[in-house]
Amino acid sequence: MERKTKIKTEDGKQELVITREFDLPLELLFRAYVEPDIVEQWMGTKVLKLESKKHGGWQFETTDSQGNKHRFNGVIHEFIPNRKITRTFEMEDTSFGVQLEFYEFEKLTDDASKLKIHSIFESVAHRDQMLRLPFARGLNMAHNRLQDIVSKLK
């Protein structure tokens, strides 16, 4: 099966590109990024603020399995319905820094559309740190599970 989500990274560059094709009309894909109640459903976050317009700001909050709250925020620089969103992204209280993100929405057919997210980081190290996060989380989960098993053996 062909992978629908593609990640493009180049060594030594402080950017990454995520592309994905959807079996959705362009308008529905774009709406998924604009309407707070829809964003909450698929992102699994609480939308504290989402001002989808030029000079608008956004802030989301997620709660992890331990009950800790994590907030994300940014400002919107460019908002062209069904075409483009330019915004910043920051995970609050982390060392990931601020990213500049370009979301480009494209119609493929009446029922298919494409999203391209181009993220620019403060440095190559910041980008690589973000790329490794789910990998590290996977290993941590594995280690935690191992610890659970081992502690039951005792």
Partner 1 sequence: MNLRRDVFQAIADPTRRAILLLVASQSMTAGAIAANFDTARPTVSKHLQILAECELLEQEQNGREIYYHLNPEKIKEIADFIEPFREMWDDRFNKLESVMKKYKSKK
Separation CA 32–CA 34 (nearest Å): 6
With binding defined as CB under 8 A, does residue 125 bind partner 1?
no
Q: Which is nearer to partner 1, 1 or 55 (CB)?
A: 1
Looking at the Cβ atoms of 54 and 144, the one nearer to partner 1 is: 144
Near partner 1 by CB under 8 A: residue from 134, 151, 152, 154? 134
Residues 79/85/86/89 CA torsion (nearest 10 deg): 120
Q: Which one of 4, 13, 49, 54 is in contact with partner 1 (CB under 8 A)?
A: 4
* Residues in region 28-47 near partner 1 by CB under 8 A: 28-29, 31-32, 38, 41-44
- Does 138 sit near partner 1 (CB under 8 A)? yes
Q: N- to C-terminal Cα distance for the chain?
A: 44
Query: Applying CB under 8 A, does 23 fall inside the site for partner 1?
Result: yes
Stretch (H or E) spanning 50: strand 46-50
SS3 assignment, position 131: helix
Residue 49 vs residues 36, 39, 60: alpha-carbon distances, Å: 8, 11, 7
- Chain contacts with partner 1 (rule: CB under 8 A): 3-7, 9, 18, 20, 22-25, 28-29, 31-32, 38, 41-44, 115, 130-135, 137-139, 141-143, 145-146, 148
